[in-house]
Structure 1
Amino acid sequence: MPLHVPPAPAPALRSVLTALGSPTAVREARTPSLRAVQGPVTPELPLPVHVLDSVSAKGVTATRLAGWRFLIRSGDRSVAAAETRLTPDGWAFSHFFEGPYIPSTERALAQAETLTQAYQPRLLSVPGLYMLTLWLHGDPTADGAAGHPAATDLLVPLAPAPPGIAAHRPHQVADLLPVLTLRATPTPLLGSPA
């Protein structure tokens, strides 16, 4: 079933296109693969990036939209990613980057394409665990910038995943969220040193 990628805000896309057209922005980026590219590059697959701020005792999640991430393609491969963020003046380019999350995102998206249900892909960051997941939202027509994970949505941890959590294995939110909550909750210190 094809994924229904939500449209990015036009100003977010324009800010990435402007940065890609700026020799200074590309040259100063910490992305050797982007600086070394010969030929045109294009921003593709815009995904809203949500941050998991908290989980209540009832399992209700509090997320916020942090930005939009675009994979930067050159020919048939992604060479980097670009992220935008919301400022008081609207959407603005934030930075280029590369690393393991780019091929991991592509792999997770390819896996999601083989599912029988239609989903809307998003990214969900879990800062307390230094974890990023592909969030497959069950309502493909929803506003990609709004909402929170439903119990039946799928989360696919991207590599590198935290120890004990398998990357690229889809989990329903209802199954994975309690594990993430438990792992992200600091353990109180018992007693004091002697």
Structure 2
Amino acid sequence: MPLQVPPAPTPALRSVLMALGSPTAVREAPTPSLRNAEGPVTAELPLPVHVLDRITAQSGAVTRLTGWRFMIRCGGRSVAAAETVLTADGWAFSRFFEGPYLASTERALHQAETLTQPYQPRLLSVPGLYMLALWLHGNHAADGAEDHPAATDLLVPLAPAPPGIAAHTPHRVAELLPVLTHRVTPVPLLGSPA
């Protein structure tokens, strides 16, 4: 079943296209693949990036939208990613980057394409674990900027994943959230060292 990619805000896409059209922005980006790309580049597959703020017993995972990430493609392959952030003046280009999450995101998206249920792809960042996951939201018609993970949504940890969490293995939110909660909850100190 094809993924239902949410539309990015027009100003977010426009800011990425302006950056791609800027020789200075591309030349100064820490992305050799983008700087060396020959031929036209395109911004594709916009994914909303949500950050996991906290996990509560009442509402589960509490997230907030922090940006939109676009895959930058040239010659049929991804050469970089571009990220936008919401500022007081609206959506603005933030940065170009490359690295392991680029290929890992593509791999997870290809895996998700084979699922029978339609999903809306998003990215979920778990800063306390230095973890990024493809979040497959079951409400594929939802606004990509809103909602929180439902218990039946899927999370696919991207590589590199934290120790003990298998990359590219889909987990229901209800199964993975307790593991994440345990990992990000600080252990109380029992006393001071002697």
Q: TM-score, normalised by structure 1?
A: 0.98
1:43 aligned residue: 43
Runs (4+) of structure 1 exceeding 3 A deviation are none
Tell me the residue number matched to 1:11: 11
Counterpart Cα distance in 2 of 1:110 and 1:20:
25
Counterpart in the other structure of 2:67:
67
Q: Structure 2: any 5+ residue segments left out of the alignment?
A: none
- Quick one: distance in 2 between partners of 1:49 and 1:115? 22
Distance 1:188 1:37 in 2: 50
- Secondary structure at 1:189's aligned position in 2? coil
* Matched letter for residue 105 of structure 1: T
Letter in structure 2 aligned against 1:29 = A
The reply on whether 1:154 has 2:131 as its aligned counterpart is no
2:9, 2:58 → 1: CA distance?
33
Structure 1 contact 156–167 (Cα < 8 Å) conserved? yes
Task: Report the RMSD for the aligned CA atoms in angstroms.
Answer: 0.8
User: Which position in structure 1 is the counterpart of 2:176?
Assistant: 176
The offset of 1:33, in angstroms, is: 1.0
Find the residue that maps to 1:71 and give its secondary structure: strand
Structure 2 distance, partners of 1:132, 1:43, is 21
C-alpha distance in structure 2 between counterparts of 1:88 and 1:110, whole Å = 35
Residue number in structure 2 paired with 1:86: 86
Q: Aligned partners of 2:29, 2:172: CA distance in 1, in Å?
A: 36
In the aligned structure 2, how far is the partner of 1:147 from the partner of 1:111? 23
C-alpha distance in structure 1 between counterparts of 2:61 and 2:157, whole Å:
17
**Cα separation, 1, equivalents of 2:158 and 2:174:** 18
Structure 1 residue 192: deviation in Å? 2.1
CA-CA distance at 1:61 after TM superposition: 1.5
Instruction: Give distance in 2, aligned partners of 1:146 and 1:73.
Output: 27
Verify the 8 A CA contact 1:59 1:177 in the aligned structure 2: no
Provide the rounded CA distance (Å) in 2 between the counterparts of 1:151 and 1:57: 12
Q: Hey, what's the Cα distance between the residues in 2 that align with 1:59 and 1:157?
A: 22
Cα displacement (A) at 1:60: 1.5
- Kept in 2, the 8 Å contact 1:72–1:78? The answer is yes
Shift of 1:186: 1.1
Superposed displacement of residue 58, structure 1:
3.5
> 1:31 deviation in Å?
0.8
Structure 1 unaligned residues grouped into runs of 5+: none
> Counterparts of 2:190 and 2:40 in 1: how far apart (Å)?
58
- Post-superposition CA distance 1:6-63 (Å, at most 9, x none): 0000000000000000000001111111111111110110000000000012352110
Deviations 1:96-133 (A, max 9, x none): 00000000000000000000000000000000000000
AA matched with 1:73: R
TM-fit CA distance, 1:190: 2.4
Given that 1:59 and 1:178 are in contact with CA atoms closer than 8 Å, whether structure 2 keeps it comes out as no
2:95 is aligned with what amino acid?
H
Identity percentage of aligned residues: 80
Paired residues, number = 194
Structure 2 counterpart of 1:27: 27
